[in-house]
């Protein structure tokens, strides 16, 4: 932080970067196989993210058997998908698209 003062003006310059508070996150357990699983496709409504998710689903369907998909979309892109909403979809895995 720095402060500059003249006879008529005072300007204070601050660093707009927030301090990071790192948190340990346990990764999800890897699936043995995707065959026969239900995968939730989560789109945060950013441009063309739905297109990317559809392409991913098509690629998975070509490679694995009996895979089903559910879709989950948030009204506001900056709001993460709540865990309980994903669980209501009865899914085994989630593929998310941020499309930035």
Q: What is the mean pLDDT of the chain?
A: 82
pLDDT band at 23 (very low <50, low <70, confident <90, very high): confident
pLDDT band at 1 (very low <50, low <70, confident <90, very high): low
CA distance 71 to 19: 35
Q: Would you state the structure tokens that stand for residue 30, as one six-digit string?
A: 């890897």
Model confidence, pTM: 0.65
pLDDT tens, position by position, 57-84: 999 999 999 999 988 887 665 666 666 6
For the four alpha carbons of 80, 86, 87 and 88, in that order, the dihedral sign comes to positive
pLDDT tens, position by position, 37-62: 999 898 888 888 899 999 999 999 99
Question: Among all chains, which residue has been given the structure tokens 């369907």?
Answer: 61
């Amino acid at each position: 932080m720095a402060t500059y003062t003249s006879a008529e003006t005072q300007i204070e310059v601050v660093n707009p970067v927030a301090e990071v508070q790192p948190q340990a996150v346990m990764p999800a357990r890897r699936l043995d196989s995707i065959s026969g699983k239900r995968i939730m496709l989560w789109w945060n409504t950013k441009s063309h993210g739905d297109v990317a998710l559809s392409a991913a689903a098509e690629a998975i369907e070509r490679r694995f058997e009996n895979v089903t998909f559910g879709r989950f979309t948030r009204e506001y892109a900056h709001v993460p998908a709540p865990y309980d909403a994903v669980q209501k979809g009865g899914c085994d895995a989630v593929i998310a698209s941020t499309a930035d």
